[in-house]
Amino acid sequence: MRPEDAYKELLKWSRKLALLESIVEILEWDQRCYIPQKGNTYRAEQIGYVARLRHEMMRKPEVGEWLAAAEGGAWCSDPLLDESVNLREWKRWHERATKVPSGLVEHIARVTSEAQTVWAKARENNDWKSFEPCMAEVFALKREEAEAIGYKEEPYDALLDQFEPGVTASLFASIAGRIKEDLQKLVDSVRDCGKQIDDSFLCRRFPIPIQEKFGTMVLKRLGYDFNAGRVDITVHPFTVLVGPSDVRITVRYDEHDFRVGFFSMVHEGGHALYDQGLDAEHWGTPRGMPVSLGVHESQSRFWENMVARSKGFWKFFYPRLLQHFPILADVSLDNFWRAVNKVAPSFIRVEADEVTYGLHIVLRFEIERDLLNGRILIRDVPDIWNQKMKEYLGIKPPDNKFGVLQDVHWSAGLIGYFPTYLLGNIYAAHLMEAISYQIAPLDDLLERGQFFTILDWLRTRIHLLGCTYRPKELISQAIGQEIDPSLFVGYLKRKIAEVYGVVS
Catalytic residue list? 268
**Burial of residue 211, with CB atoms counted within 10 A of its CB: 0-12 exposed, 13-18 middle, 19 or more buried:** buried
Distance CA 504, CA 495 (A): 12
C-alpha distances out from residue 347 to 371, 382, 394, 397, 435, Å: 22, 13, 10, 6, 33
Are 296 and 424 a contacting pair, CB within 8 Å?
yes
Show the CA angle centred on residue 77, arms to residues 76 and 78, nearest 5°.
90
Residues 6+ apart with CB under 8 A from 315: 333, 446, 447
Distance CA 375, CA 391 (A): 19
In 3D space, the residue among 132, 85, 176 whose CA is nearest the CA of residue 467 turns out to be 85
Phi-psi region of 145 (alpha: psi -120 to 50; beta: other; left: phi over 0): alpha
Distance CA 435, CA 418 (A): 26
Are 85 and 58 a contacting pair, CB within 8 Å?
no
Distance CA 68, CA 92 (A): 13
Are 265 and 300 a contacting pair, CB within 8 Å?
no
Distance CA 469, CA 44 (A): 35
Are 34 and 15 a contacting pair, CB within 8 Å?
no
In 3D space, the residue among 451, 438, 444, 442 whose CA is nearest the CA of residue 477 turns out to be 438
DSSP β-ladder status, 246-251 and 229-233: parallel
Are 116 and 31 a contacting pair, CB within 8 Å?
yes
SS (H, E, C) 94-132: HHHHHHCCHHHHHHHHHHHHHHHHHHHHHHHHCCHHHHH
**Burial of residue 363, with CB atoms counted within 10 A of its CB: 0-12 exposed, 13-18 middle, 19 or more buried:** buried
Are 248 and 228 a contacting pair, CB within 8 Å?
no
SS (H, E, C) 198-246: CCHHHHCCCCHHHHHHHHHHHHHHHCCCHHHEEEEECCCCCEEEEECCE
